[in-house]
Amino acid sequence: MCPGPPRPAPYNALVGTVRQIEAAEITRVVRELCMEICYTVPAEMVELMRRAREREESPLGRQILDLLIHNQRLAAEGEYPYCQDTGYTVVFLDLGQDVHVIGADLYGAIDEGVRQGYGDGYLRGSIVRDPLFDRRNTGDNTPGFVHTRVVPGDQIRIQVDAKGAGSENMGKHAMLKPADGLEGVKHFVLKAVAESGPNACPPGIIGVGVGGNFEMSAVIAKRALMRKVGQPSSDPQIAELEAELYEKCNALGLGPEALGGTQTVLAVHVETMPTHIASLPVAVNIECHAHRTGSRVI
């Protein structure tokens, strides 16, 4: 199922109760997250890479995983970012409906956090101001790409992902026919991973969004990547699909850096949502082994 907005219970029924949050606080949190995640990946990633090293059958694959684990540790020392592509800054914002942001524009505050974090963190600005007519670098990685949900409560949850373009460029989207069904979706995912080859820097995480409409399928594919990595879906049918896709993606034999091996993906996360009687949208969003994400609650 689509991860609905978190529902803190009970719903705040106190009429007129509003919590004020300074925009500067949002800036501070975004700045810190940017600086942190580009050097230190989540603990679950360290564990999944270790497990991949244990499971890898190809000697070359094991050597490569050793190097990548070395790179992971070196980056965590805080001198050199994990990867020179410090990504698009994607921000998932869960904004409590009882929050009043004061002092500055909310999205402006987020971009200011990105600007400061990328500057102070010695991170690469990788965003050009216009895709077609003016591909000049903005220099500070702004703008961040923000997905906002308004949720019950008086808190703000901010999750930041530094999303590398090598894997992002290997994403695929299709409007399948309902008749294509589950088999059609599985085939589409496998083909996307097979074609991503070395460009997506395997082993990675595969985010799959099924259902919704054209754009929602893509958004939930990215949300799938934001789940605690390796944690199966809470829906047993989807968890089973994830396990099957994990096995089959690894059967592709790409292996670490696509130089052959049994560990092509570290996890497959699938999210679904209701869709139209005529539609079966599917999106595949790939994250490389540089899975740089973190979150805070204000």
Positions that interact with other proteins (CB under 8 A):
57-61, 63-64, 67-68, 70-71, 74-75, 79-86, 122-126, 135, 137, 139, 164, 166, 169, 187, 190-191, 194, 197-199, 201, 247-248, 251-255, 257-262, 288-290
CB of 111 to other proteins, least distance (A): 19
- The verdict on whether omega for the bond into residue 6 sits within 30 degrees of 0, i.e. cis, is no
CB of 77 to other proteins, least distance (A): 8
Of 149 and 172, nearer to other proteins (C-beta) is 172
| 99 versus 188: smaller Cβ distance to other proteins | 188
* R_g (Cα) of the chain, nearest Å: 20
Q: Roughly what angle, to the nearest 10 degrees, separates helices 106-120 and 23-37?
A: 40
- Pick between residue 233 and residue 262 the one whose CB is nearest to other proteins: 262
Q: Are strands 292-297 and 204-212 parallel, antiparallel or unpaired?
A: unpaired
Q: What CA–CA distance (Å, rounded) separates 16 from 294?
A: 32
Task: Tell me what percent of the chain is helix, strand and coil, each rounded to the nearest 5.
Answer: 40, 25, 35
Kindly tell me which of 7 and 70 has the beta carbon lying closer to other proteins: 70
How long, in residues, is the chain?
Answer: 298
CB of 63 to other proteins, least distance (A): 7
Of 47 and 247, nearer to other proteins (C-beta) is 247
Distance of closest approach, residue 155 Cβ to other proteins, in angstroms:
33
CB of 200 to other proteins, least distance (A): 9
Residue 247, CB half-sphere, CA atoms under 13 Å: how many?
Answer: 5
State the Cα–Cα distance between residues 215 and 289, nearest whole angstrom: 25
Helix (H, G, I), strand (E, B) or coil at 280: strand
Residue pair 296/47 in contact (Cβ under 8 Å)? The answer is: no
- Residue closer to other proteins, measured from CB, 21 or 258: 258
Q: How far is the CB of 204 from other proteins (least distance, A)?
A: 9
